[in-house]
Amino acid sequence: MMEVKNSMLLCFPSLSQNERFARQAVAAFALQVGDWTLVELDEIMTAVSEAVTNAIIHAYEHGVGEVRIRARILEGNGLEIIVEDDGIGIEDVAQAMEPMFTTKADQERTGMGFSFMESFMHELSVTSKPNQGTSVRMVKWLAAQSDTQE
């Protein structure tokens, strides 16, 4: 019989006090994948924090909407995290992912969010539709597995 791998869905309003809750909840779930190092757990938390902050600041810049995090344990000791929103969407995803690019420099945004997600996770893909929302998918493999995955 095929083993069912664990998964979870977390939904919350785009309020900034949920940034910490979201990254800590995902880190707690991640522990089921295996023995991450503290550095790897920090990387997961930073990546989640960046994706959730983007949803709060950019996707729902005019109000509050729902942010969803789907996390799943993958075959081969991997963790998949999808952060989605139903917000304004990103017009030019490639441009948004360029290091230092930001539409909100006046608010002291650094444009480093996607760079951190890319640096800290093994896979990153972003899909977005104007006025429908954005989905950020990230995957991280346990270090012992990463050699065979890359």
Partner 1 sequence: MQIELEMKNRTLVVRLTGELDHHTADALRTAIEKELDKDVATSVLLNLQGLTFMDSSGLGVILGRYRRLSQMGGQMAACCLNQQVRRIFELSGLTRIMGIYPTEKLALEQL
**Which parts of 59-98 interact with partner 1 (CB under 8 A)?**
none
CA angle 19, 12, 71 (to 5 degrees): 80
| Tokens representing residue 140 in the block | 């991280």
53 or 77, CB closer to partner 1?
A: 53
**Which among 62, 77, 48, 47 has a CA at the least distance from the CA of 148?**
77
- Residue 49 interacts with partner 1 (CB under 8 A): yes or no: yes
Which of 26, 30, 44, 45 lies at the binding interface for partner 1 (CB under 8 A)? 45
Residue 55 CA to residue 86 CA, distance in Å, equals: 9
- Name the E strands within 14-77: 66-74
Which of 2, 3, 4, 17 lies at the binding interface for partner 1 (CB under 8 A)? 17
**Which parts of 106-135 interact with partner 1 (CB under 8 A)?**
107-110, 112-113, 115-116, 119
32 or 110, CB closer to partner 1?
A: 110
**Which among 61, 48, 67, 57 has a CA at the least distance from the CA of 116?**
48
Interacting residues toward partner 1 by CB under 8 A? 16-17, 19-20, 23, 38-39, 42, 45-46, 49-50, 53, 56-57, 107-110, 112-113, 115-116, 119
